[in-house]
Amino acid sequence: MWLYYVRRYKHVIWGVLLAIVLMLLVVIGVKTTSIKKAVINEDVYSGKAMGTAIKKTIYSEKKKERDAVNTAIDDCLRTLEKQISVRISDSEIAKCNRSYVKNGTYRLPENIVFYLQEEMKVAQETKGAFSPCVRPLSVLWGIEDGKNVVPDQQRIEEKVKYASYSKIAVSDDGIIFKLDNMAIDLGAAGKGIACDEVMKTIEESKVEGAVVSIGGSVAIFGSKGDGKPWHIGIRDPRGGEDDVMGVVDCADHTFVSTSGDYEKYFEENFKRYHHIFDPRTGYPVDNELMSVTIIGDNGFMSDVLSTTCFVLGLKSGMEYAQKKGVEGIFITKDKEVYITKGIKKEFRIKDNQYILAN
């Protein structure tokens, strides 16, 4: 009997079954897209801090979480700047420069002592290419304050004496200056330190992924929910602020820092004078490089090493980066690009004015 009905209404039954399957597919589809969408909600926040442009791209399900971490990052940067900026008159660094007594120990907070000790290791290993007390040279040249004349040779030579790392010593309690008129700053590391602090702030939040850039230093956290690596653009050293010459794929908890001759500079007689100095000559670095990008698992060290490798030049800089266990992208004035072995698969050129040379 029921077979009779099945046969008779075969078409109707098939129709109903098909409709049910279609409805199920639609429901599942809607559900998966809404899950995907929830994970990849994104906001971009732009602003200024630590004397530079800040961009935060934050991924999480809820807007409230994204806004909260944005505010927390701003607070964290403000607190850090008050402590380490040489330009803020009651920062630890500014107070130290103003009030140290020659050959005595000037006590500094533990975190600053740590940064200075690490910087001193780099200074020693590079025989002074890096120097925590390069500041008298930066002040003399005044490039970051918009001065655009080459100082007298005699005055440069005088400041070179103060700019050598051999004229300071860092103990567990603080710093000893061996001459008067010296000064330290954390200029070559500050944005990287800020990236480390930002990373801690993000870790404490509920967001799934974030990319925060502070000037030329970038902190990369988590994922954007699609299981793919982050694509970080490498600035074209002869292009505008948003021009990218290549892209490097980065994983969670990576830090990318770039130092170049384009950030702050002036030109005289077709020669470029910029804000990264060779402390041994007293002049802005003048080698084959336009920029160095360092990729590592620590913001502070990536920033220190991008400045250091820029001063060292292509060959020594590549060797030193490898010795320190970080990856590097070195761009020469001839627009040749040299990269360390560990990022051969991760790095791609996007602008064909540039060529991969190794």
Out of 59, 115, 277, 330, which residue is the one contacting ligand ADP (CB under 6 A)?
277
Out of 159, 191, 224, 324, which residue is the one contacting ligand ADP (CB under 6 A)? 191
Our finding on whether 187 is near ligand ADP (CB under 6 A) is: yes
Paired sense of beta strands 283-284 and 277-278, if any:
antiparallel
In whole angstroms, what is the distance from residue 81 CA to residue 78 CA?
5
**Taking a C-beta distance cutoff of 8 angstroms, is the pair 149, 158 a contact?**
no
3-state secondary structure of 296: strand
Cα angle for residues 95, 101, 103 (degrees, 5° grid): 130
Measured from the CB of residue 192, what is the shortest distance to ligand ADP in angstroms? 7
User: Rounded to whole angstroms, how far apart are CA atoms 136 and 161?
Assistant: 9
Q: CB under 5 to 8 A by kind: which of ligand ADP, Mg ion, none does 138 bind?
A: ligand ADP
**Binding span for ligand ADP by CB under 6 A among 99-107, 154-162, 183-191, 320-328:** 183-191
SS3 72: helix
Q: Between 16 and 55, how does the x/- string for binding to ligand ADP read (CB under 6 A)?
A: ----------------------------------------
Smallest distance, Å, CB 188 to ligand ADP?
3
**What is the DSSP pairing of strand 355-356 with strand 336-339?**
parallel
Query: x/- string (CB under 6 A) for ligand ADP, residues 85-124?
Result: ----------------------------------------
Residue 256 CB-half CA count within 13 A: 23
Of positions 188, 211, 212, 331, contacts ligand ADP by CB under 6 A: 188
Q: Does 196 bind ligand ADP (CB under 6 A)?
A: no
Residue 259 has φ and ψ, to the nearest 5°, of -120, 135
Smallest gap from Cβ 308 to ligand ADP, in A, equals 7
Q: How far apart are CA 155 and CA 72, in angstroms?
A: 44
Contact between 49 and 78 (Cβ < 8 Å): yes
At 90 the three-state DSSP class reads coil
Interface with Mg ion by CB under 5 A: which residues? 188, 259, 303, 306-307
Residue 215's binding partner out of Mg ion, ligand ADP, none, with CB under 5 to 8 Å set by partner kind: ligand ADP
Q: Which one of the spans 71-79, 106-114, 169-177, 180-188 is the region binding ligand ADP (CB under 6 A)?
A: 180-188
- Please report whether residue 168 would count as binding ligand ADP according to CB under 6 A: no
Radius of gyration of the chain (CA): 27
Cβ of 140: how many Cβ atoms within 10 Å? Answer: 20
CA distances from 14 to 1, 6, 22, 317 (A): 19, 10, 12, 72
Task: Find, among 334, 338, 332, 333, the residue nearest to 356 by Cα.
Answer: 338
Binding partner of 351, given Mg ion, ligand ADP, none, CB within 5-8 angstroms per partner class = none
In the shown chain, the binding pattern of residues 299 to 318 toward ligand ADP, with x for contact by CB under 6 A and - for none, equals: ----x--xx---x-------
Q: Contact letters (x/-) for ligand ADP, 117-136, by CB under 6 A? A: -------------xx--x--
Q: Check binding of 159 to ligand ADP (CB under 6 A).
A: no
> Is residue 215 a contact partner of residue 258, using CB atoms and an 8 Å limit?
no
Minimum distance between the CB of residue 256 and ligand ADP, rounded to whole angstroms?
12
Partner in contact with 185, chosen from ligand ADP, Mg ion, none, beta carbon below 5 to 8 Å by kind: ligand ADP
When binding is defined by CB under 6 A, the residue of 70, 85, 97, 138 that contacts ligand ADP is 138
The crossing angle, in degrees rounded to 10, of helices 299-312 and 110-125 is 30
Residue 49 sits at φ, ψ, to 5 deg, of: -165, 160
Which residues, 208 to 247, sit near ligand ADP by CB under 6 A?
215-216
**Both structure tokens of 250:** 């980065």
Residue 311 interacting entry, from Mg ion, ligand ADP, none, C-beta within 5 to 8 Å by type: ligand ADP
- Which residues contact ligand ADP by CB under 6 A? 130-131, 134, 138, 144, 185, 187-188, 191, 215-216, 259, 263, 275-277, 279, 303, 306-307, 311
